[in-house]
Structure 1
Amino acid sequence: MAARFPEGNQVQLRPRKGHDMKWSCDKHGEPIAFYCKKHGLPVCDRCAIKEHCQKPCELDDIEDVIFERRKKLDEKRPKIQELQKQMKAVNLKIKTALAFSDTNLQTINNNIQASYHNEIKSVKEKEDRMIRVINEEADEEIRLVNEKREKRIKDCHIEIEKEQKIIKDKEAKLLSDAKTITKIVSKKIKDLTIKSQHVINTIKNIESNITRINQHDETLVNEAPQVLASIDENLSLNVHQNVSDCLDRIESEVERVKFVEGEAGGEYYSRIDGYIGKWELARSIHIPSVVNKPCVCSLFSEDEICVQDRGNNDMYVTNINTQHTEKVIDEGVLITSCAPIDSNVIVCGKDSDDCMGDRLDGCITLYDRQWKVIRDITIPRNEDGLSVYVYVDVDRDGMIIAAQDDQSNIYVINPANDKIVNTITMQGKEVWDGIQALSSGDIVVTTDDNEYTVISRSGEEKAVIHCDEWGLSECRVDKLTDTLYIAYWDRERNTYAVDQVSRDGIIQARRIMEYVESDRHSFISPCLVTPSGNLVGCDGDKLHLYKKTFVL
C-alpha cells in the first residue's frame, strides 16, 4: 500500500512503471497514479498535489488498489463455484422430489380407482344375481309373474343405479381431493423452482459483471465494491439450504398422504388422510336451550350426535346436517357411552345405582335406530356397592367391548347372542373412564386422570399416553386411521382445546381446535370423529364441525 503524504503542501511523486497510460485524469489528462480513500476517487499526480495532499485525505498507490480489488474478486470465485455446485444439487433434488410426489400421488389415484372398480363390479354382479333370481321366479307363472318380473327388474335397475351413483360420487370426491393435493404440491415445487432459477440467473449475472469489470482498471475500481456487495448479499441468503429444507418437508408431508378405508358402524368408508393438515371450522350448530346442561356423548352415524342433558339425563340426537335436535330417551339414566353396531342397532353403556348380586343388569342396552329398547346384555359384576359405571364400544369385527369402572377386566361380547367370547385382563391397571376400540384390534383404555393406555387383546400394555398440560381430558379415536383426539381443559389459556395424537402416544398437532366454555357447559365433551374424518367439538352452546385441509 502507498504511504500517506507528509504534512504540508509538497508531495514527492515517483514515476510509474508499466502503468496503463490509456487511463488518465479527465481534468488534467495525466495518468492515474493514486486512489483517495476519503473521497473514493482515482486521481493523477496533479490532483493529488492540489486537492488531496492534506489530511484527512489518505492516498493509496493505484496499482496496489487494483491489485487488492482484483485479489478480492478472485477470492470470491471458489464460493461462487461452490454455490453453483450446491444449486445444481438442489435442482436435481427438485426433480427427484417432483418425481417422488407424482409417483406417490399417482399410486393413490390408482388405489382409489382400483378399489371403486371392484365395488362397482361387485354391485354389477349383485344386479346380475338378482335378475337371475327374478327370471327363475317369473318362469313359474306366465302373465302375472312376467308383469311382476318387469317391474322388479326396473326397480332393480333403479336401485343399482342409485348405488352406483353413490359409489361414483364417493370416488369422484376422493379423486378430487387427491387432485387438490397434487395441485398444492405442484404449485409449491414450481415456486421453489422459480426461486432456485432466480438465484442461478443472479449468479450468472454476477459472473458476467466480474468478467466485464476485470477488462478495464477504471471499471474495476469504480464498480468492484457494488459487485462485491451483491456477491456477499446473495451468499448470505442461503437460498440453496432453504429450498432443500422445503423439498424435504414436501416429501415428508406427501409421504403421509394415504388412501384409507374401512368399516365403522357396519358401513364402509374411505378417504384421503394420514397427513397432519390444518383444521378449519366448517359450521356451528346451536344446541337448543331445552337441553339445560348439554354434554356430547357419542355419534352413531356420520351426521347424528348423541347429546345428553346432564341436568336430568335426558338423551337428545342432533343432526349436524339438518341442525335438528330431537329427544330420544326420557329415562333419567346416565349414558356413559354409545356406538353403532350396524345400520340398525346401537349399543349403550350406562350407570346403575341399584345393582345387586354377581351380575350387572341394565348397564348395557341395545337400541334400534328409533331408540326403542331391543334388549339388555348382562356382564359379571366385579365389585361391591350399588353404583357402577359401564363403558362400551364396538370393535373392527362388530363385537361389543365392555368394561366396568375401577376394574381390570374388559369383556368381548357377540351381539348376535349376547355371549362373552373373550375376557381381556389388564395387568396393574383399571378402567378409569372409558374404552375405545382401534382398527388394529388394540384398545385404548382411560386408566387414570388424563392417562390413556393402549393394550393388546391379550391385555399387554403397548403404550401409555399422557401430557401434563391436559386437564379434565376426554379421548376419542378415528376408526379408520387410529388417530386419537384428546379434548382437554387448557389451564394456561383458560379454554378447551383438542390435541391430535398417534396411537403410539406421539402428539402430532397441538390445539387443532380451541373454544371458550359457555355458561351451560358443566362437563367437558369429547371431540367426536366422524367416519369421513371430520371433527365435532362442543362448547356447551354449540357443536362445531371442523374439516381438515392439506397444507404445505
Structure 2
Amino acid sequence: MASKFPTKKSGEVDLRTRKGHDMTWSCDKHGEPIKFFCKKHKIPICHPCATKDHSQKPCELDDIEDVIFERRRQLDEKRPKVQELHKQLEVLSTKIKTVSTSGSTHLRTINNNIQASYHDKIKSVGEKENRIIRVINEEADEEIRLVNEKREKRIKDCNTEREKERQIIKDKEANLLSDTKTISGVLTKKTNNLSCKNQHAIKTLMSIESTIKRINQHDETLVNEAPQVLASIDENLSLNVHQDVSDCLDRIQSEVERVKFVEGEVGGEYYGRIDGYIGKWELVKSIHIPWAVEKPWVRGLVSDDEICVQDVGNNDMYVTNINTQHTERVIDEGVLITSCAPIDSNVIVCGKMRYDCTGDRMDGCIILYDRQWKVIRDISIPMYGDSSYCSMYVDVDRDGMIIAAQSNQSIIYVINPTNDKIVNTITMQGKKVMCRIQALSSGDIVVETDHDKFTVISRSGEEKAVIHCDEWVWPQCRVDKLTDTLYIAYWDRARNIYAVDQVSRDGIIQARRIVESEGSFSTLFTMYISPCLFTPSGNLVGCDRSKLLLYKKAFIL
C-alpha cells in the first residue's frame, strides 16, 4: 500500500519533486516514492514493488504521474458535460413551473367560460321569471280578490319552477367545475411527480460535482475513487432524465390543451360538458334489458337519458331510462322503426319501414309522436322506385329541421316539422343511402353508403370524407351532436370482441377500441352489430344483446 512520506529526519536527503508535483506519496511497505501504477492489480506501487512483485507478466506498469494526469484529464473532460446537464436541469425546473402555470391558467380560463355561460343562463331564467310575473300582474289587475289570489298562487308556482330551473343549471355548472377540478388534480399530481424526479437528478449531479471537487484535492483519493465517480457520471448521463421529463411535459401540455368546454342544443335542450381529450372510457353501469325483449336493437335516443330499444322479433318499441333503469313499452303496433330523434322537449320524429307502399308518395314512414308516444301526425314525401318496400331513415339537424332519406336512393330531404314542408332537397352524386343518416352540428350529414362505409356530405351533396376501416365487421356509426365526433361500433374479427372506435368527422381514427366487450359472434350476428349511442351529456351507451352498458370518460395523463 501507499502512504505519505514520513517527515524528514536529521541528515536525510530531501525527495525530488517529479513533473512539477509535490510528491510526498510513499509506499507503506518500502517507504519509497510511488512511481508506477499496476494496471492488472489497479494499485499504485514504488520501484521495489515493481521490481519484486510486479515484474512478471501479465503485470503492465504505467508511470504514476501519467495515471494521475490521465485520471484528472478524464474528470476534466466530464466536468463540462456535468455542468451543462446541471444547467439543462435547472432550465427544466423553470419549464416545469411554466407548464404547470400554463395548464392551471388554461383550466382557469375554462372555468371562467363556464361561469360566464351559466351566469347568462341564470340571468335568462330571471328575465323569464320577470316576464311571466308581468303578464300575471296584468291579468290579475283586471279582477279583484279572486284574481289576486290566483295571481299570488301563480307567482308562487312560477318562483318554484324557476328555482328548479336555477338549481338544475347550478348543479350542471357545479358538475362541470368539478370535472375541471379533477383534471387540475391529475395535472398537479403528474407535474409534482416530474418535479420530484427532476430535483432528484439535480441533487445527484450536485453530489457528483461535490465528489469531483473533493477527490481532486489529493492524488491518492483521485486514483482510488475516480473510476467509481466516472461510472456514476456515465450512469446518470445514460438515464437521460432531462429528455424524458421534457418529453413528458410536452405531452402533458398537449393533452391539457385538448380540454375544452363544449356546449350546444340537442333536441331543443341545452347541454354543456368538458370534452376534447381522448381520456379513458370506464364502465359505470350495466342496465339489464327485460327478458320480454327477446331480440333488442338500439334505435336511438329521445333525450339525454332515454334510450329507444326495439324488439326486432315482434317490432315492439321500448324506452329504457338509464338513470332509473326502468324500461317501458311505448309502441306495440308491429311496425319496424329504423331511427328516432327528439325535435324538442315535446315532439319525437321516427322513421319506419313498410312493405305496402303504393303510388308516388311515401305515407306512414315519417311519424311525429308526443312524449307519451301518441301519434301527432304523418309526414308524406315523394317516393322513388317501383317497389312496395319502403325504408325511411330520419334525424334532426342543428336548426331543428328533419332530415329524411329513403334507402337505396340518392336524395335526402330537409323538412320543416312545423308545417311539414320540404325546405331543401340534397342529391348525392354516385352514391345511395344504405341505412341511417345523421346530422352534424357543422351542417354536414353522415350517410351510411355501404355495409362498411360512411360518407360525409355537405348540404349541396358534395362528398367531403369517406370513413372506412378494413378491421370493421358490420360497423354501426353514431354521432356526438356537440363535437361531431363519430363512434363506430363493430365486431373485431381478429380479437373476437365487440369494440368501439372514435373517429373525427373527416375520417381520422382518433382512438381504437375505446370500449370492448366479449361475446359470441354468432349471437351478435343475429341482427348484425347493435350500435352504441352518445348522449349529449357525454355518456357512451353500448348494447351486448342482454343489457345496456353505460360508459363515462375519465381524464388521464
Which category of TM-score, normalised to the shorter sequence, fits these structures?
Answer: over 0.9
Q: What secondary structure sits across from 1:347 in the alignment?
A: strand
Match of 1:5 in 2: none
Asked whether 1:473 is paired with 2:475, we answer yes
From 286, 289, 293, give the equivalent of 1:287. 289
Q: What secondary structure sits across from 1:472 in the alignment?
A: strand
What are the within-5 Å matches in structure 2 for residues 16-31 of structure 1?
17-18=18-19, 20-31=22-33
Distance apart, 1:456 and its partner CA: 1.0
Distance apart, 1:122 and its partner CA: 0.9
TM-score normalized by structure 1?
0.94
**In the aligned structure 2, how far is the partner of 1:67 from the partner of 1:382?**
95
Match of 2:10 in 1: none
Match of 2:50 in 1: 48
Match of 1:9 in 2: none
Distance apart, 1:471 and its partner CA: 1.1
**In the aligned structure 1, how far is the partner of 2:148 from the partner of 2:55?**
121
Match of 1:67 in 2: 69
Asked whether 1:418 is paired with 2:420, we answer yes
Distance apart, 1:520 and its partner CA: 5.2
From 519, 535, 554, give the equivalent of 1:549. 554
Match of 1:359 in 2: 361
Q: What secondary structure sits across from 1:406 in the alignment?
A: coil
Contact 1:291–1:309 (CA under 8 A) maintained in structure 2: yes
Asked whether 1:107 is paired with 2:112, we answer no
**In the aligned structure 2, how far is the partner of 1:81 from the partner of 1:211?**
13
What are the within-5 Å matches in structure 2 for residues 477-496 of structure 1?
477-496=479-498
**In the aligned structure 2, how far is the partner of 1:27 from the partner of 1:372?**
110
Distance apart, 1:16 and its partner CA: 7.5
Distance apart, 1:196 and its partner CA: 1.6
- Percent identity reads 76
Asked whether 1:163 is paired with 2:168, we answer no
Match of 2:352 in 1: 350
**In the aligned structure 2, how far is the partner of 1:155 from the partner of 1:314?**
39
Distance apart, 1:525 and its partner CA: 0.8
Match of 2:530 in 1: 525
The one-letter code sitting in structure 2 at the alignment partner of 1:534 is N
**In the aligned structure 1, how far is the partner of 2:149 from the partner of 2:353?**
56
Asked whether 1:192 is paired with 2:194, we answer yes
Bigger mean CA offset, 301-310 vs 479-488: 301-310
Superposed CA deviations along residues 327-354 of structure 1, whole A, max 9, x for unmatched, are 2111222111111111111111111111
Asked whether 1:133 is paired with 2:138, we answer no
Contact 2:140–2:148 (CA under 8 A) maintained in structure 1: yes
Q: What secondary structure sits across from 1:471 in the alignment?
A: strand
Superposed CA deviations along residues 328-382 of structure 1, whole A, max 9, x for unmatched, are 1112221111111111111111111111111111111111112121111111111
Match of 1:221 in 2: 223
Q: How many residues align?
A: 539
**In the aligned structure 2, how far is the partner of 1:142 from the partner of 1:433?**
62
Asked whether 1:235 is paired with 2:237, we answer yes
**In the aligned structure 2, how far is the partner of 1:201 from the partner of 1:78?**
17
**In the aligned structure 2, how far is the partner of 1:26 from the partner of 1:151?**
109
Superposed CA deviations along residues 29-82 of structure 1, whole A, max 9, x for unmatched, are 332222222222222223333332333322222111111111111111232233
Match of 2:386 in 1: 384
The one-letter code sitting in structure 2 at the alignment partner of 1:273 is D
TM-score normalized by structure 2?
0.94
Distance apart, 1:221 and its partner CA: 0.5
Superposed CA deviations along residues 186-239 of structure 1, whole A, max 9, x for unmatched, are 221222122222222222221111111111110111110111011101111111
Distance apart, 1:136 and its partner CA: 2.1
What are the within-5 Å matches in structure 2 for residues 172-321 of structure 1?
172-321=174-323
Bigger mean CA offset, 204-213 vs 219-228: 204-213
Contact 1:294–1:520 (CA under 8 A) maintained in structure 2: no
**In the aligned structure 2, how far is the partner of 1:366 from the partner of 1:146?**
40
**In the aligned structure 1, how far is the partner of 2:134 from the partner of 2:358?**
56
Contact 2:17–2:23 (CA under 8 A) maintained in structure 1: no
CA RMSD, 1 decimal: 1.7
Superposed CA deviations along residues 94-137 of structure 1, whole A, max 9, x for unmatched, are 23322321221111011000001011111111122222222222
Q: What secondary structure sits across from 2:300 in the alignment?
A: strand
From 145, 148, 152, give the equivalent of 1:146. 148
Distance apart, 1:298 and its partner CA: 0.8
Distance apart, 1:462 and its partner CA: 1.3
Contact 1:454–1:461 (CA under 8 A) maintained in structure 2: yes
The one-letter code sitting in structure 1 at the alignment partner of 2:535 is T
Superposed CA deviations along residues 435-472 of structure 1, whole A, max 9, x for unmatched, are 01001111111111211111111111111111111110
Match of 2:373 in 1: 371
Superposed CA deviations along residues 174-193 of structure 1, whole A, max 9, x for unmatched, are 11111111121122122212
Match of 1:12 in 2: none
The one-letter code sitting in structure 2 at the alignment partner of 1:17 is R
Contact 2:487–2:500 (CA under 8 A) maintained in structure 1: yes
